Amino acid sequence: MDRMNQYDVSVVPCDSYEDEQVEAALRAALEPIDGLDFVQPGMTVGIKVNLVMAMKPESAATVHPSVVCAMTRLLKEKGAEVVIGDSPGGIYSATYLKAVYDVCGMRKAEKCGARLNGDFSVTEASFPEAVQAKQFPYTAWLEKTDALIDLCKLKTHGMMGLTCAVKNFFGAVPGTRKPELHYRYPRSENFADMLVDIFEYAKPRLCVCDAVVGMEGNGPTQGTPRKIGCLLASRNGHRLDAAAASLIGLHIQDVPTLRAASERGLLPKDPAQIRICGDLARFTVPDYKTVQAQSSVFFQVFGNGIAGKIIDFAVARTLTPFPKLDPAGCVGCGKCAGICPAKAISMKNGKPRIKRGECIHCFCCQEFCPKGAMRVGRHALMKMLGK
């Protein structure tokens, strides 16, 4: 059995974002899985980074530029051309992405020899074997590479519980088209299947997770940086996500994308079957502040009668997290109302009002609130039960 087949996920310590330490850690993480053995001289390798918003690296909302630079240097050593890109929420244009690249520190990667994506054309992807997203808008630059690498950040997420390798590829959808998919797939289990579809369509050859400093709490943009102290690497994004989830106390059933991958046979149902190189337990953070993903309780349980439907509705309302405003933190910018795909938010007296009956629980308002005033709420009963 060759070395690539011995391990599914590699985890190595990395205590800081100092350039030399990050590069050494990345080399160590890639070696057990032969992570770059597919790279040939002259190839164009695309690095899909997580640049969710124009936020400084120390916020822990985006992949740190030191990790991007280290990967760029390793690819350049092998004679590859490197292009870096993403499509965060917002207008998918040169002007908008310039600001994102600047604030997120991607100019550092440019100095290391990478090219920042300047192709903002969009194609319509066709994926007949998909479970949900058989057709979807796709940023064309990804199609123009010979291979893709997924550089993700370990963070909590209001809708999916976790954002890591698989969720990172939602950035393959142009920013202004993302609300269409939120509205098309409002149920968490369908949205998760859609994310897995996009990831399987893209087929990144390598996934690397920046877990030197993750984000806990009100993720994926307004949470709190939390030291984890490692890098993870895998040729399989689902297995990397399962390993990363375990670092912060989440299990396969806690994360809709992991559940979806497991149900499709893309991920072992027993996490013990994931072969880890390195001491994963060493980096586990037992008191990591996670958020509960949406519950998949939209199917009928108590029958088709009126009483059964009423009970099903009550159970769904009780178990499903919801966006909740912290009025003290709100500055009345209206961004939540503008980005809501269901148009369930209106501004009244300078504050957002959520029409609960129209809310699809996509948490776009929570993800893109610039002040972190929109949070993940839970029913009082669930709090009493400690859920």
Residues 154 and 237 reside in one and the same domain: yes
Q: Average model confidence (pLDDT) for the chain?
A: 91
Residue finishing a domain among 231, 250, 283: 283
Clarify whether residues 273 and 317 are in a common domain.
Answer: no
Contact between 375 and 324 (Cβ < 8 Å) = yes
Quote helix, strand, coil % in the chain, to nearest 5: 40, 20, 40
Percent of the chain residues past pLDDT 90, beyond the cut:
79
Distance CA 241, CA 40 (A): 27
Phi, psi of 40, deg, nearest 5: -120, 150
pLDDT in tens, 111-138: 999 999 999 999 999 999 999 999 999 9
Cross-strand partners of 152: 209
pLDDT at residue 239 is higher than 60: yes
Residues 44 and 13 in one domain: yes
In the chain, % of residues over pLDDT 70: 89
184 with 145, same domain: the answer is yes
* Res. 227: pLDDT tops 80: yes
The predicted pLDDT at position 362 comes to 86
Q: How many structural domains compose the chain?
A: 2
Residue range 275-287, pLDDT digits in tens:
999 999 999 999 9
| Mean pLDDT value across residues 252-265 | 96
pTM for the whole structure: 0.85
pLDDT, tens only, 57-87: 999 999 999 999 999 999 999 999 999 999 9
**Same domain, yes or no: 104 and 235:** yes
Once rounded to an integer, what is the mean pLDDT over residues 164-174? Answer: 98
Name which of 370, 332, 371, 368 is nearest 178 in CA terms: 368
Beta carbons of 360 and 183 less than 8 angstroms apart: yes
- Its sign, for the CA torsion 233, 235, 238, 239, is negative
Task: Give the pLDDT score at 378.
Answer: 66
Query: Is 316 exposed, middle or buried, given 0-12, 13-18 or 19+ CB atoms closer than 10 A?
Result: middle
Domain range for residue 156? 3-283
**pLDDT of res. 221:** 95
- Spatial CA neighbour of 105 closest among 56, 47, 50: 56
| 253 and 314, same domain (yes or no) | no
The reply to whether 83 and 204 lie within a common domain is yes
For residue 274, being part of any structural domain is answered with: yes
| Same domain, residue pair 140 and 263 | yes
Q: Are 78 and 36 in contact (CB under 8 A)?
A: yes
How far, in Å, are 78, 324, 355 from residue 346 at the CA level? 53, 14, 8
Cβ atoms of 226 and 259 within 8 Å: the answer is no
Please give the pLDDT value at position 70.
98
Q: What is the pLDDT of residue 382?
A: 43
The answer on 366 and 242 residing in a single domain is no
* Shared domain check, 114 and 10: yes
The verdict on residue 296 lying in a domain is: no
321 and 264 in a common domain:
no
CATH value at residue 338: 3.30.70.20
- Least confident range from 45-54, 81-90, 136-145, 285-294: namely 285-294
Specify the pairing of strand 44-49 against strand 81-85: parallel
Closest Cα partner for 171 from 212, 146, 142? 142
pLDDT given at position 306: 65
